[in-house]
Structure 1
Amino acid sequence: MELQDNVELCFPQLLNSSCRKPTLHWTEAVLLNICLAFISLITVVLNLLVIISVSHFRQLHTPTNILLLSLAVSDFLVGLLLMPFEILRTSSCWVLGDLLCSLYYYSSFIITSASIGDMVLISVDRYVAICYPLHYPTRVTLRRVKLSVCLCWFFSVLYSSIILKDDLKQPCQYNFCYGECVLMMDYSAKVLDLIVTFIGPVTVIVVLYMRVFVVAVSHARAMRLQVINVTHQLSMATTRRKSELKAARTLGVLVGVFLICFCPYYCVSLTEDNTLSSFFVSLVFYLLYCNSCVNPVIYAMFYPWFRKAVRLIITLQILQPGSCEINIL
């Protein structure tokens, strides 16, 4: 009884049904929240720069960049909405009610699924561009890409509604006490989520990456053999080889970061170990969300047009008349 008397409750007036307040020391809580808030801010800023760049400059309105724009929107929402709510859920009692708790998890599934779908679409886009360069302009058009993006978000909403239908009907039915926000899924739903949002996308991305890498290397080798005695053409072949291998490496980084960020989440999700601390589970969630912070670095910061666009945005040159027509490439 002495231990219980010293425990702080989220809602002291509800003695028998209130959750306990988080037990982290205040210095640890402050440092953790500052770190997580910084990651959230960086995620918002980086993805907002991508959104402004692609939206403002007309020269960047290409099929590939439309996919980057959709990815940046989903990752921007992760930093703006999901990360702050996760900070609140981890560091203090949940005081926003059952409805907002269910909406948080529902939004999390929608945004994360859309982000994964965008990454798959980008991999398909790069695959067609490198493996079928002559057919790329006719197969990958702005209209088809915009339709694909809309379908990606539509199916993300549909999938999230199906897998969370029980929680949407009765919000937070698995909360054991007042002041917590948890989501419980049966094992079959966890397996379905693993297949749809991890195994399936990773399989597609890895297969396309391997195909892109093989084609890039074979093209570079063939061109090098053809021009081995011509210095100028050899230089052009070397440039082409570097460009193709850069695209292959970019997809390789994508696969690596995706696996690093998502593997721990699904390992924890599929285990029925109730001894895991809520702090550790939250760290797994944040590692998942950190993928949204890395995505703009992978897809945008490797390209010179993004650095030029950032300079124009920071110096407010985009506010000048006709700035959308600036040669950004």
Structure 2
Amino acid sequence: MDITDGPLLCFPGLNSSCRRQPRPHVETTLLYTLLAAISLLTVTLNLLVIISISHFQQLHTPTNALLLSLAVSDLVVGLLVMPINSVLHWERCWLLGDVMCALATYVSFCLISVSVGSMVLISIDRYMAICDPLLYSSKITLNKAKISICLCWACSLLYNGCILTGHLGQPDRFSSCHGECVLVISPITGIVDLFITFLGPCTVMVVLYMRVFVVAISQQRVIRLQTATATVTLAATTKRSERKAGRTLGIVICVFLMCFCPYYYPSLAGQDTSTSVSYSVVLSWIMLINSCANPLIYALFYPWFRKAIKLIITVKILQPHSRQEKVL
């Protein structure tokens, strides 16, 4: 394999420039192709989710509004965070300047917070739908869901602005050479962020879904004992639909935990990953792949998503009155 000879500098001619690590061209090409494919797939699938929920009026529900918020954050991850991370981790050079270093870190942290917040809101939504179905339609409305989403995004922007104040003000203060984008968070800030961004929300999600699981099992037993009248059949169908949606979103949250737990595990175990760049990169990409996994789960378990995709691909959404198309 051909490897470029001699030391490579991020900024040739600048003595204080960081050095690039020479890598085989074949290995570089294969890696960039794989990462580009993951990024493109993430953007495409989440864009389909956004178009589906936004276009078809039948999908304008509180639950789908939360899914839309999650899809928007996942779309930005695939569009910006994945490409930037792949270049930064592989080339070991930051060529976009200090301002973009600060903004890229800030955007990445905000998107993580929005994803976590959306998952918590989804858990609350499913808890209300299954555990308190009679009052669900009055307590959980589309407008309330939109307000919750706006608060989620606003709190994420404000919270991450607070914990990254030093980095945003002086992004190069921990850089040892030109061409580095380094973020250092104090231990106290790291512990607070660990609880607010991961441990607290995960505890809420697990507790709510355990409650949902118990209630869903009890409802299933009641339905089996009920007589087969028209009213009961309709009620049973509604409950089955809610349980199915709850089960699907439960899978989404389980996948979310599986992708995020490895990233936060070193912090919980007291391990330092700063000395092992490759290990840190793998953990970061496992977390980022969650943005691609969510729409894949929708495609597997949501018939309305598959039907919406067909209408989008065949350009039938451009036809008159396509917004009223029945996809459920």
TM over 0.5: yes
Match in the other structure for 2:11: 11
Aligned length: 321
Match in the other structure for 2:79: 80
CA drift at 1:147: 0.5
Closer, same or farther in 2 for the Cα pair 1:131/1:300, shift >3 Å? Answer: farther
Match in the other structure for 2:49: 50
CA drift at 1:232: 9.6
Deviates more, 1:117-126 or 1:248-257: 248-257
Gaps of 5+ in 2: none
Instruction: Determine the C-alpha separation between the residues in 1 that align with 2:70 and 2:280.
Output: 25
Closer, same or farther in 2 for the Cα pair 1:82/1:194, shift >3 Å? Answer: same
Please tell me whether the aligned partners of residues 224 and 238 of structure 1 are also in contact (alpha carbons under 8 angstroms). no
2:152 equivalent to 1:152: yes
Match in the other structure for 1:250: 248
Please tell me whether the aligned partners of residues 10 and 21 of structure 1 are also in contact (alpha carbons under 8 angstroms). yes
Instruction: Determine the C-alpha separation between the residues in 2 that align with 1:24 and 1:253.
Output: 39
Cα shift readout 1:167-210 (whole Å, capped 9, x = no counterpart): 01112321111112221111111111111111111111101100
CA drift at 1:273: 4.5
Match in the other structure for 1:285: 284
Matches within 5 A, 1:1-329: 6-15=6-15, 17-92=16-91, 93-227=93-227, 243=241, 245-269=243-267, 271-276=271-276, 278-299=277-298, 301-329=300-328
Closer, same or farther in 2 for the Cα pair 1:246/1:170, shift >3 Å? Answer: same
CA drift at 1:79: 0.4
CA drift at 1:235: 8.4
Please tell me whether the aligned partners of residues 94 and 180 of structure 1 are also in contact (alpha carbons under 8 angstroms). yes
Deviates more, 1:251-260 or 1:82-91: 251-260
Closer, same or farther in 2 for the Cα pair 1:240/1:147, shift >3 Å? Answer: closer
Which letter does structure 2 place at the counterpart of 1:120? V
Deviates more, 1:266-275 or 1:185-194: 266-275
CA drift at 1:290: 0.8
CA drift at 1:23: 3.8
Please tell me whether the aligned partners of residues 220 and 237 of structure 1 are also in contact (alpha carbons under 8 angstroms). no
Instruction: Determine the C-alpha separation between the residues in 1 that align with 2:107 and 2:134.
Output: 40
Closer, same or farther in 2 for the Cα pair 1:53/1:274, shift >3 Å? Answer: closer
Instruction: Determine the C-alpha separation between the residues in 2 that align with 1:315 and 1:38.
Output: 23
Please tell me whether the aligned partners of residues 171 and 183 of structure 2 are also in contact (alpha carbons under 8 angstroms). no
Instruction: Determine the C-alpha separation between the residues in 1 that align with 2:177 and 2:54.
Output: 45
Instruction: Determine the C-alpha separation between the residues in 2 that align with 1:325 and 1:223.
Output: 33
Which letter does structure 2 place at the counterpart of 1:317? K
Closer, same or farther in 2 for the Cα pair 1:233/1:62, shift >3 Å? Answer: closer
Query: SS of the residue aligned with 1:308?
Result: helix
Which letter does structure 1 place at the counterpart of 2:83? P
Instruction: Determine the C-alpha separation between the residues in 1 that align with 2:224 and 2:60.
Output: 34
The root-mean-square deviation of aligned C-alpha atoms, in Å, is: 2.3
CA drift at 1:8: 2.2
Instruction: Determine the C-alpha separation between the residues in 2 that align with 1:240 and 1:146.
Output: 24
Instruction: Determine the C-alpha separation between the residues in 1 that align with 2:248 and 2:118.
Output: 15
Cα shift readout 1:119-170 (whole Å, capped 9, x = no counterpart): 1111111110111111011000111111000000000001110110110111
Please tell me whether the aligned partners of residues 114 and 156 of structure 1 are also in contact (alpha carbons under 8 angstroms). yes
Which letter does structure 2 place at the counterpart of 1:159? Y
Instruction: Determine the C-alpha separation between the residues in 2 that align with 1:299 and 1:165.
Output: 37
Deviates more, 1:128-137 or 1:83-92: 83-92
Deviates more, 1:136-145 or 1:85-94: 85-94
Closer, same or farther in 2 for the Cα pair 1:177/1:210, shift >3 Å? Answer: same
Please tell me whether the aligned partners of residues 68 and 299 of structure 1 are also in contact (alpha carbons under 8 angstroms). no
Which letter does structure 1 place at the counterpart of 2:244? K
Instruction: Determine the C-alpha separation between the residues in 2 that align with 1:237 and 1:61.
Output: 22
Cα shift readout 1:225-280 (whole Å, capped 9, x = no counterpart): 344xx69999889867754553443244233212221122123455335431x233
CA drift at 1:298: 2.9
Cα shift readout 1:106-125 (whole Å, capped 9, x = no counterpart): 00011111111111111111
Please tell me whether the aligned partners of residues 298 and 305 of structure 2 are also in contact (alpha carbons under 8 angstroms). no
CA drift at 1:318: 0.8
TM normalised by structure 2 equals 0.90
Percent of residue pairs bearing the same amino acid type: 54
Please tell me whether the aligned partners of residues 264 and 284 of structure 1 are also in contact (alpha carbons under 8 angstroms). yes
Gaps of 5+ in 1: none
Instruction: Determine the C-alpha separation between the residues in 2 that align with 1:60 and 1:145.
Output: 14
Query: SS of the residue aligned with 2:9?
Result: coil
